Chains A and B, each alone.
Chain A
C-alpha cells in the first residue's frame, strides 16, 4: 500500500531542489550569458521529474512537484515577473505529467531500449520547454500591460528553434536519470527488501525534509535580504 506521507515527502523534496536550482543555478547561468532556460528545462527539470517518476510511479506527482517548485521560484528576487516564472514552472510539471501519463505504462517496460529513452527525452523536454516559454510570453505582457497575439505569433519560430536545444539536452538527460535511479539512494523508499529481509531506511524522512527545509530557508533568506 502506498504511503501518502512518503509521496508527500518526495514531492516536497523534488519540488524544492528544482525550485532552488532554478533560482540559484539558473541565475548563475544567466549571469554567464548561457541559455539558462534551455539548460534548466533540458537538464535539471528533466532529471528531477524523471527521477521522481521512476522512484515512485505515482500519477499526479509531477504536477505537485511543479507547483512546489513554482511556489519556491515565486521568491526569486533575480527576475522581473515572479508570478509569470512561477506559473511557467508549474505548467512545465503539468506538461510532463500529461505526456508521461499518456505514453508510459506502470512498469516503464517500453523504456528498456535506449532509443525509447532518448525519444521520450527529446519529445518531453521540447514540449515542456516550448509550453513554459509560450506561457511566459503570454503572462508577462498581460501582467505588465497588454498581451498582443501577433507579437507571440511572430516569435514562435524563435521558441520552436530554442526548443530544439532543450530537446537534445532532454534526450541525454532522461537516459542519465534512468541510470541514476539504479543507484541505491536513501530516498528510494522507507521500507525495502534486501537479502530476503525487510529493512527500514531511517534516512528517508530526515533526508527529504531536511534538504527541502534547507532549500526553502536559503531562498526565503535571500529574498528577505534582497527586498530589504
Chain B
C-alpha cells in the first residue's frame, strides 16, 4: 500500500511538471501572438493606442499603489462609438488571456495607461488587467 502511494507520488509530481511546462508553452505562444501589434480591439473594431492617446486627455487617479495616469475608460468606450455604454458590461482581455468583467460604473472610475494597463482605484488588484489587447462589450 505504502509502496503504491510512493509510486503514485512520483507520477503525480511528474504529471504536474508536465502540466506546468505545457501551460507555460501555451501561455508564451498566446502572448507572442497577441503582443505583436500596438492596437487595441474595442467591440470588434481595432484602434491604435497612440492615436487614442493623442485624441483623449490623460487624467491622474489615486490608487493604493500611488498616482496612476491614463485615459478614462468611459471616454475610451465613447470614443469607440458605443451608443449606450451603460447598457453593457465590459470584458477586459490581456495578452496572456487574463480576463476581467466590469460594469459601466467601474469603467467610469478606471483608466487605461499608455502601456495598456487598466487601473480601477475602487477594485481589487486582480481587476487591473495588464497588456490589454481587447475590450469586449457584452450584454448585461
Contact = CB atoms under 8 A, between A and B. Distances in A.
A164 B6 contact: no
Interface in B98-126: 98-103, 106, 123-126
B51 interface: no
Main secondary structure of the interface of A (DSSP, over half): helix
Contacts of B97: 154-155, 157-158
B9 A123 contact: yes
A78 B91 CA distance: 26
A165 B12 CA distance: 16
A81 B8 CA distance: 37
Contact of B13 (A123, A144, A154): A123
B98 A145 contact: no
Contacts of A150: 99
Interface residues of B, number: 35
Interface of B: 2, 5-6, 8-10, 12-13, 16-17, 19-24, 26-27, 30, 64, 91, 96-103, 106, 123-127
A16 to B, nearest CB: 25
Interface residues of A, number: 42
A103 B5 CA distance: 6
A161 B23 contact: yes
B124 A126 contact: no
Nearest to A125: B16
A51 B5 CA distance: 22
B11 to A, nearest CB: 9
Interface string A122-164: 1100110000000011001101111010110011111111011
Contact of A80 (B2, B23, B96, B125): B125
Given A123-B9, A154-B97, A105 B2 contact: yes
Nearest to B106: A145
A115 interface: yes
Contacts of A126: 16, 20
A157 B30 CA distance: 10
Contact of B5 (A110, A163, A164): A110
Contact of A151 (B27, B96, B100): B100
Contact of B99 (A79, A84, A122, A151): A151
Given A84-B124, A110-B2, A122 B100 contact: no
A62 B125 CA distance: 28
A137 B124 CA distance: 11
A127 B125 CA distance: 23
Contacts of A79: 124-125
A126 B13 CA distance: 9
A158 B9 contact: no
Contact of B20 (A80, A137, A164): A164
B99 A127 contact: no
A144 B21 CA distance: 32
Nearest to B125: A80
A142 B59 CA distance: 29
